[in-house]
Amino acid sequence: MNDISNTFYSLPLRLDKIISKKFNPLCSLQESIAQNIYLLITTDFKELRFDHSYGCSIWEQDFEVLPNIKWKDILSSSLEKTIQTHEERLKNIKVKIEIEEYKFMSKENIRIKRKLIINIEGFTVKTNEKFDFIEQIFISPFSLE
């Protein structure tokens, strides 16, 4: 018998399947937590109508001209706080962010983007299993002509 408390829906949620009484793909606890963290990272505060605290400050500070060290500290602290608030299945959360700059060159211009390497570690509350999450995203589309 399948334990419903260990059943997690995979994203994206397939409402067409649910409405037609078919199964939406399922995933593990680790995958479900990772999907929620990814949503937290890629969501701006106030984007979720019913909970304005859901999201991440990356998008508020995307174009801030702060030294990378200060910006990383602000972002790490904000992300750690939002994960603690919105992902109750994790404990002892540690967030580490690295920033790299990339130049994309074409005949017309040079674009510089920041690449964030986000590393999140913690433990699942239910099983005390180690949890690791790494995501890389590009932000700040500067253009030099």
pLDDT per residue over 50-92, tens digit each?
888 888 887 766 555 555 667 788 889 989 999 999 999 999 9
Determine the pLDDT at residue 37: 96
CA dihedral 106, 110, 111, 116 (to 10 degrees): 100
Tell me the average pLDDT of the chain: 83
Task: Quote the DSSP letter at residue 106.
Answer: -
Class of domain 24-144: alpha beta
CA distance 112 to 46: 28
Determine the pLDDT at residue 107: 79
Other beta carbons within 10 Å of 99: 15
Q: Which residue has the tokens 């983007």?
A: 113
Determine the pLDDT at residue 108: 79
Contact 138, 125 (CB under 8 A): no
Please give the helix or strand (H or E) that residue 111 lies within, else none: strand 110-124
Q: Provide DSSP, 11-79.
A: SSP-HHHHHTT-PPPEE-HHHHHHHHHHHHHH-BTT-STT-TT-SBGGGTSTT----HHHHHHHHHHHH
Contact 135, 38 (CB under 8 A): yes
Q: Which of 56-60, 100-104, 113-117, 119-123 has the lowest mean pLDDT?
A: 56-60
CA distance 19 to 91: 35
CA distance 60 to 45: 8
pTM above 0.85, yes or no: no
Domain ranges of the chain: 24-144
